[in-house]
Structure 1
Amino acid sequence: MLLSMTGFGEARRHDQKLQVSVEVKSVNNRHLKVTVRCPDAALGIENEIERVVRGAIGRGTVNVNLRITRVDGVTSSQLDVERLRSYWREISAIAAEFKAEPPKDLTQFIDLPGVINDSSDALVSSDQWPLVEAAVREALAKLDEFRQREGIAMRDEMAGLCKEVQGRVHVVAERAPEVVTEYRAKIKQRVSDLLRESEVVIGDADLIREVSIFADRCDITEELARLRSHIDQFLKLLDATPSSGRQLEFLCQEFIRELNTIGSKANDITIAHAIVEGKAAVEKIREIVQNVE
């Protein structure tokens, strides 16, 4: 199933000690990049969270925001008295230097760096990790549902665009033989006009040789066959499991390569227009593929 790299999921779990809230957001990226934000006292489980995320997601930039609150009445923060005293001494010394009175309200010092610290005890112990893991996995499951819904819409859109490309390929395939036939009639008429008042005679062998050279130079049979094969493979990958974004990107490059070759070979305005329309559809496909895992 096709998966979008863009999604959002959240989950909440709690027990008698902790309440855990997890948000997971993902956007497109050529590789997998995981960023975990969690309380300082829970940094010990950051690697475990990243391991779980990497096991569920293959590509994209994933941001995990973890919030943990104690519900057992035990505070996870404490006042650093020594740091507060240090700030007070420095402020008092500066006030004395400028012959001013130091501040009397100590609450102004609470927001200074280091005055309030998380408790030295780990907020999440080893026996509480299963609670956090369950919340992370639930958020990832909701993220996956979001990505699947977007993937279905993207799959339908790209399938429709592939049908447009197939339609342009059909136009080119039908028109190609007519180009050679029209060239033969055109060159025959041109030679007849030039030699109308002379006694020079151009044999059929000369005309056939010239037309054969033109037909060989404009032959796009191989390019059409490869392009049809690429389109068939692309349509199969849209329903493949797991999601194959990298392969789809490669096939888009091959679409453009074959269309460019056909356009440069086929000396015909109808084919040129069909190629331009086909390339426009492929560019729309490429934009969508950029967000496929």
Structure 2
Amino acid sequence: MIRSMTAFARISTQTQWGEVCWELRAVNHRYLEISPRLPEEFRVLETRLRERIAQLLKRGKLDCTLRFQTDTATVGFRLNHTLVQQLLTVSTELAVLSDNPQKLSALDLLNWAGVLEVPAPDMDSLSTPIMATLDKALQQLLAHREREGAQILRMIEQRCEAVTQEISKVRAQLPEIIKRQRERTKARLSELEQNLVQERNLDRLEQEMVFLAQKIDVAEELDRLDAHVLEVQQTLKSDKAIGRRLDFLMQELNREANTLASKSIDTRTTMASVNLKVLIEQMREQVQNIE
């Protein structure tokens, strides 16, 4: 199944220590690049996070953000006795030095940063729900990728069919194009023969005939275009990551379309090559976002 590399997922879970929330954002990238953003106390989970993601994703730049909000109503607060004692000591020293001494109230102490502390979360009990929530977020991300991938698949299949129709159109027109070119060539050769016989330079006549024959022959390019389109259609059925292979096939399709344009001897063939390049470019833009 085709997967897009662009997706978003957000899953949150309530634990005994507070709310755990994973937010995943993925964009296209040549390789798999994971950028975790974790609170400092959860850095120990980074290795497990990378391993879990690498099992499911093959390409894309993924930003993984973990947010943790402590439930103070359940966990409660803890008084920093050391800091309180230091503040009281400093307050006493200031009272001795001051002409107008004022004692610190309990409210003043509570307003001081760090006096009330939230107990550090227990990683042994939190790691399981954190990783389980990550798994849910990854499944949501994959579902998003697959929905976009299905849309990309339909678009590429439509363009492949259009490419095949353009190739068939050129093949159908070739006999008439070749016939008209032969008539023009005969007229040209008759004119050349008069000059060349006088100059006794028959090599030049042979070169002209070879050049014209090469210009007419586009059968090889059409066959290769057909083969590449067939390979694209077969690749789309694969269950593996196919983005890089499709990107290579788009380059080959474009190469053959350019060759067809350079060999064109008729406006209809030129227009067909232009249409092919437009269709191939449309596919190439979408392929850049396939895993």
Q: Same fold (TM over 0.5)?
A: yes
- Structure 1 pair 119–108 and aligned structure 2 pair: CA distance change class (3 A): closer
Q: In structure 1, how many angstroms separate the alpha carbons of the residues matched to 2:252 and 2:51?
A: 35
Matched, 1:183 2:181: yes
Task: Give the deviation of 1:278 after TM superposition.
Answer: 0.7
Going by fraction, where is helix more abundant, 1 or 2?
2
Q: CA deviation at 1:18?
A: 3.9
Partner AA of 2:227 in structure 1: S
* Residue identity matched to 2:223: A
Counterpart-to-counterpart distance in 1, 2:160 and 2:65: 39
TM-score with structure 2 length normalisation?
0.77
Paired residue type of 2:10: E
Q: How does 1:48-127 map to 2 (within 5 A)?
A: 48-71=48-71, 73-74=74-75, 81=83, 110=113, 121=120, 123-127=121-125
**SS in structure 1 opposite 2:173?**
helix
Indicate conservation of the 8 Å contact 2:261/2:270, yes or no: yes
1:32, distance to aligned residue in structure 2 (A):
1.1
Q: CA separation in 2, counterparts of 1:108 and 1:287?
A: 57
Superposition deviation, residue 55 in structure 1? 1.6
| CA distance 1:118–1:134, change in 2 (3 Å) | farther
Q: 1:107 Cα deviation (Å)?
A: 9.0
Q: Is the 8 A contact 1:171 1:271 kept in 2?
A: no
TM-score (norm 1): 0.77
- Give the AA of the match of 1:184: R
- Equivalent position of 2:152 in the other structure: 154
Aligned to 1:214: 212
The residue that corresponds to 2:16 in the other structure is 16
**Cα pair 2:16 2:74 within 8 Å, conserved:** no
167-176 vs 268-277, greater mean Cα deviation: 167-176
Whichever residue aligns with residue 280 of structure 2, its letter is V
Bigger shift: residues 243-252 or 231-240: 231-240
CA deviations 1:240-285 (Å, max 9, x no partner) are 2123111110000001111111111222211011001110111111
Structure-1 residue corresponding to 2:278? 280
Letter in 1 for 2:24: V
**One-letter amino acid of the structure 2 residue matched with residue 23 of structure 1:** E
Structure 1 gaps of 5+ residues are 93-104, 201-206
State the alpha-carbon separation in 2 of the partners of residues 76 and 175 from structure 1. Answer: 84
- Cα separation, partners in 2 of 1:210 and 1:13, compared to 1, 3 Å: same
For residue 138 of structure 1, what is the aligned residue in structure 2? 136
Q: Give the share of equivalent positions with the same residue, in percent.
A: 29
Letter in 1 for 2:35: T
